[in-house]
Amino acid sequence: MSPLRPALIAAALILGTATPVQAAPGPEITVQNGRTQPVFSYADAIREHVYVESTVDSDADGRLDRVRVDIIRPKESGPGLKVPVVIDESPYYDNSGRGNEGERKVYDDAGNVVKFPLFYDNYFVPRGYAVLNVDMLGTTRSDGCPDIGGKADVLGGKAVIDWLNGRAKAYRADGSPAVADWTTGKSAMIGKSYDGTLANAVAATGVRGLETIVPISAISSWYKYQRSNGVVYNYDYASWLANYVDTDPEAKCQAVRDRMDAEDGDDTGDHNAFWAERDYIHGLLGDVSKVRASVFVAHTVNDLNVKPDNFSEWWEALAKRGVPRKIWVGQTGHVDPFDFEGRRGLWVDTLHRWFDHWLHGVRNGIMNEPRADVEVAPAQWITERDWPSPRGLKLTLRPSADGSLRLLPGKKATASFTDVRMAEPDMVSDVGTAKPGRIAYTTGELPLDLRLSGTPVADLRVRLDRPTANLTALLVDFGDDTRVDWRRGGGITTLTEEDCWGESTAADDGCYRKVVTNTVDRPLEIVARGWIDVQNRLSLSRPTPLPVGTYGSVKWETLPQDYVFKKGHRIGLVIAGTDATYSNETGTGANVTVDLSRSSITFPVVLGTPLESVPQDKARFVGPREVTLPEPEREFSFF
């Protein structure tokens, strides 16, 4: 008999009953309509922090780096009620902040976070999740130095997953051990930009316990983030970004930044071991073949920060491996889907159902729905079986000596320009007028709508009078239209009115300002862009100069797109030298001669216009209109 039992019996006799009073049971995970329900108190949630020991010493101080992990979880969670975990690991918690409103962590006197950025904690903790805001190594309250996609970045995040599954150690602020006895070990990683990049990176290690990731506008290859086929976007970018996210004294991590500058290969633009370490598709630290997690990708085709080839090639590689996946493809710039106009409620609900399915095992049918949500016009969306559209047909257009862009090759002819540094607006203006730094070609007016869905391929046969040149290929839509103005505010304007997602406290509300899509009436739109250093045409790591005066094939992919060329518009192809808008390269001065009859651009198109979208909370699928294929003579007539 336990020591307390006699006292309980005595008390019961005094009260005239032999039945002890039982404590009321606490709330449990509750599922209704395929969704976990908000049965746990957000205000009463446990807020704590631990330091997880990693396997790296990035600042070379002789001690393994520790990762700061801020935790909020239901009060009832513990050995008797284990909950899954949603993780947002970020380097931005004490500099730029998170989300459209730049939220930062706010701490109480005990060092625990009382304001967690974004809505994940407000929404998911009441529904039976723990939410972890993790400071990437080298940032905020973690040890170490930022590694900009490299070993420390990757293994720091992995250590947190390992700790949640009993494979790594963690400590409280007083040095006592911390055990995650309150979790099932199942976790998700989510985040935009660098945060989503860390999710991709950790998933590529194959770590067990990471069940799903939601990379938003995320990097899959740091080479592609800062290079395009040998063309450098920004010099010494890795060291600059490392210094930006690290709020420690500069001297602490100067040696790490110096090493980055020495190893990044900016002098050549070539791919090397530095970039291979920072590649999550075919990298040294991990690759797509090791991914165990399901993947819910969100990206936009006009994101010229984390350019869309970072999602398209990751997506394609995941598909080849049969990884369970879902995707949203928007038209704005570097914007979170939480801030897509008219889609906030659908995003939160879709994310909720995705996490419920993969972390709580709820059978809610989300994997039986169309895989892709695609924006085809400002704030107008359709759903499809996959992305790119599986209904796409390859269309090849060829430049001709008369300035036209045709389906069939023209007579043998050449055109020349000089590789000079030139901005995009100059490249696409006055296309009927000759310019020394570019050549330009257009179709006639289109007899029907054509939707580009996927990645165009430029295929040129060129001759140079120098060993190399930088080449730019632009696919352009000429025609007045109202388009997403992704250049202004990333394509959105933030309003003063708010809506709320989840529960709130005085210190941390779940309310955020609404947004609208920016639009603009323009006579043209650059639809797809692609760049290459000719000496990297055969290999990104082993440059091969083109023999002077000799023709050679230069074939490369532009950035992907999903865009509707409307009936009556004209499609244009502009070929130029060094791009001054997105590259810091200098022009080579080479004279570039293009063999027009053996050059082309090919891209996947869907014929016809998608039906106008209906409110997405009322319908989940909007299909394409059936379009009759034109007769061959009609097909040729507009080119």
Q: Could you read off the pLDDT of 47-63 as tens digits, one per residue?
A: 999 999 999 999 999 99
- Decide if 444 contacts 610 (C-beta within 8 A): no
pLDDT at 619 over 90: no
* CA nearest neighbour of 452 among 340, 528, 531: 528
Q: Over the stretch 354-372, which tens digit does the pLDDT of each residue have? A: 999 999 999 999 999 999 9
φ/ψ of residue 238, rounded to 5: -60, -45
Query: What pTM was estimated for this model as a whole?
Result: 0.91
pLDDT exceeds 60 at position 13: no
Q: Which residues pair with 512 in a beta bridge?
A: 499
Give residue 294's region: left, alpha or beta (phi > 0; psi -120 to 50): beta
pLDDT score of 7 more than 90: no
The torsion region of residue 419 among left (phi > 0), alpha (psi -120 to 50) and beta comes to beta
The percentage of the chain sitting over the pLDDT mark of 70, rounded to a whole number, equals: 91
Q: Where are the beta strands (DSSP E) in 308-359?
A: 325-330
592 pLDDT above the threshold of 60: yes
3-state secondary structure of 535: helix
Q: How confident is the model at residue 299 (pLDDT cuts 50, 70, 90)?
A: very high
Task: Kindly report, residue by residue over 156-173, the tens digit of the pLDDT.
Answer: 999 999 999 999 999 999
DSSP, collapsed to helix, strand or coil, labels residue 407 as coil
Question: Which alpha helices (H) appear in 64-178, and where do they start and end?
Answer: 120-124, 151-164
pLDDT at 410: 85
Q: How far apart are CA 337 and CA 332, in angstroms?
A: 10
pLDDT of residue 25: 66
Strand partners, 525: 477
**In this model, does residue 10 exceed pLDDT 90?**
no
608 band by pLDDT with thresholds 50, 70 and 90: confident
- Whether the per-residue pLDDT at 621 is higher than 80: the answer is no
**What amino acid positions are annotated as catalytic residues?**
193, 303, 334
Cα within 13 Å of Cα(11), Cβ side: 8
- Averaged pLDDT for residues 523-541: 98
